[in-house]
A and B are shown apart, each in its own frame.
Chain A
């Protein structure tokens, strides 16, 4: 089993197992709360469905040779927007659904030609959260997505760019931690909570063929053939930092 497959399987198992194992624990009793008022986590109290909105950055290391024409290193930094409701709460465990959009651009030169790669990642997912305390949570996430890749090359021999457009599948498997840094409402029953979240994981993806031809121009009736650059697989280790508001 390759390292990537192992990581993916581990993350998947963690995502599924975490709520199950949490469910097997006895719910925190009032007695325990009274005896250990400081150390024991308070029972989270928020309404379901709770809406989650997150804004942050998704950083990915793509070792794919297909990234080489567009970047001098293997990294892609993307803007990340996530939104979705918390669907279910069982004690300290909750499950949230999410939809996300990640957007990133890399620009470079390939053999002296200006190149750029724009990535859009549109995904949905399930996030399982485990509340460690009133300010801390652990979570695991599984997020399948569709990835749109748009590459451009400015060839000096033609006035418009050579363009490649392609779609591919992707699957993010991540786990992370969230820390509440602000809230509104009471501590026991906040009306909104502001989190700082960080997560690590691995993103799987299919390879996209990067086939280039000049951008269509109605004024140019000539027939153009295509050239093929190395296929790009937008997969690799990833990290995400985000500000999350739950309300």
Chain B
């Protein structure tokens, strides 16, 4: 009897042990992380997906056979922002790290630089001192600036603190460079990187920081010297800078570089001459000398242009339907009367060619008027311009998309409804309409300038538009789309990565040069793949 009881107890214990045995251990938390908060980017050789909840960046380089080999690059916690460099050679991912840091192994804030080529990998990570969220990237891809944004909510914060990262140099004690802008009560609102300017001492680039009341100039070759503040009002009236135009002047001179600062709702434009500093106590070898010039009304866009009479500041004044041409040396202004309230201008001299004297040609467009104009800024008797050539479109232009060579004579003009597009030939002066059956169509142009891709987010249609003959090829991919990125393929050639918005990240990969659904490869559930 006792033996039977013991046997039953042993059996019960054995059963409990066997049943309980599998309940050991725990799985990695990433498998319980929702596949949300995905930010996608197109890079030179891959599409990149910032998978915040999984703490990684997933990159998808494409092979010759259109298959992808996903690569997962871990990123620091506290994702703040991500941006691709303008040439797509790298992806920058800014993370705040662990806030607050309480343990020695808690992560610091940092800016990760990930190679955007066909073999993606982490290039380096720059530690930064404070958990900031704003990220601005130099159009030339050489510098990044980290600054406080509205998303930062520390108990105490200095809104004028910047960290400047030289992306060409490895991390070090002097890289990034942290500095605090000299402030007269303002805080940074926008950052502008200038091209290389011939400044006293040496040619270099400047970072122009627009605050809500003044402008700071930072020498990017020596950011540790701090900024030079340009105060925009001497009377105490608050003016807000909204745009900066830059001119290097005569390339042979180092004392004629200029900035033009457009102010919000103000006909005044501040011209800042960057001349040699003579003050012995100045850290900088250049000195900004501001002057005020007046346009015929509050300008909507400004740019330095070359005319037959020399350098001028062109200021578009939609309220007067005019283009003010202001001599920066004298402040004298001459107006070109236009026939529409143009709001934006772009110089197209490099494509269409200037006059014999080097005068520029400007393209003008408007978001409120269905006209575009080419203004040749030469001069004829009694007029400060040579000609104004107008084209009428069906709709106003909301956005102008540049096309790289070999089709850089083209620009794609997008209407506000995202349904109508016009392929503007700058040389032939024609505007070919391209119409979509859907609204809100997104357009991307391939880096080789040979085609553009059109898709309507949420729809499953995709079109490739040849920029040689404007022939559209339509594809229905069967699943809703949200993005499309054209990338280089491993071993040569191009591929289009169409990103689907349903499920856990689906992709359709098409041959970029000869797109066809017969050769396309579909992927599903990518956010579950390549996890640790």
Contact = CB atoms under 8 A, between A and B. Distances in A.
Contact of A155 (B10, B21, B525): B525
Interface residues of A, number: 46
A222 B22 contact: no
Contact of A225 (B23, B500, B523): B523
A59 B21 contact: yes
B532 A157 contact: no
B524 A224 contact: yes
A77 B17 CA distance: 12
Interface in A142-180: 153, 155-158, 162, 179
B14 A157 contact: no
A88 interface: no
B520 A75 contact: no
Interface in A55-102: 57, 59-61, 63, 65, 67-69, 71-77
B389 interface: no
A233 interface: no
Interface stretch (B24-32, B146-154, B276-284): B24-32
A11 B502 CA distance: 51
Give chain A's interface secondary structure class. strand
Interface in A226-247: 227-230, 237, 239-241
A157 B22 contact: no
B35 interface: yes
B530 A228 contact: yes
Given A111-B35, A156-B504, A223 B525 contact: no
A113 interface: yes
A73 B21 CA distance: 10
B500 to A, nearest CB: 6
B522 A225 contact: yes
Contact of B528 (A72, A111, A240): A111
Interface string B48-75: 0000001000000000000110100000
Given A65-B532, A198-B18, A225 B24 contact: no
B506 A73 contact: no
A239 B17 contact: yes
Contact of A229 (B10, B509, B528): B528
Contacts of A224: 521-524
Contacts of B530: 227-228
A67 B14 CA distance: 25
B336 interface: no
A111 B27 contact: no
B245 to A, nearest CB: 47
B524 A110 contact: no
A241 B525 contact: no
A157 B500 contact: yes
Contact of A67 (B27, B35, B517, B532): B27
Contact of A230 (B14, B521, B531): B531
Contact of B531 (A223, A229, A241): A229
Interface in B473-532: 478-479, 500, 502-504, 506, 509, 517, 519-532
A123 interface: no
Contacts of A110: 31, 528
Given A72-B26, A73-B27, A241-B14, A157 B7 contact: no
Given A68-B27, A75-B23, A158 B11 contact: no
A236 B519 CA distance: 43
A237 B21 CA distance: 9
B7 A77 contact: no
B21 A75 contact: yes
Most-contacted residue by chain A among B23, B521, B529 (CB, 10 A): B529
B25 A61 contact: yes
A193 to B, nearest CB: 15
29 contacts: A57-B19, A59-B19, A61-B22, A61-B25, A65-B532, A67-B27, A73-B24, A74-B22, A76-B22, A111-B31, A111-B34, A111-B35, A113-B528, A155-B525, A156-B503, A179-B7, A198-B18, A222-B478, A222-B522, A223-B521, A224-B522, A225-B68, A225-B521, A227-B526, A230-B531, A230-B532, A239-B18, A240-B18, A241-B14
Interface of B: 7, 10-11, 14-15, 17-19, 21-28, 30-35, 54, 67-68, 70, 478-479, 500, 502-504, 506, 509, 517, 519-532
Given A111-B34, A157-B502, A222-B517, 16 more contacts: A57-B18, A60-B22, A67-B27, A71-B27, A75-B21, A76-B22, A110-B31, A111-B528, A112-B35, A113-B504, A153-B525, A158-B506, A222-B522, A225-B521, A228-B529, A239-B21
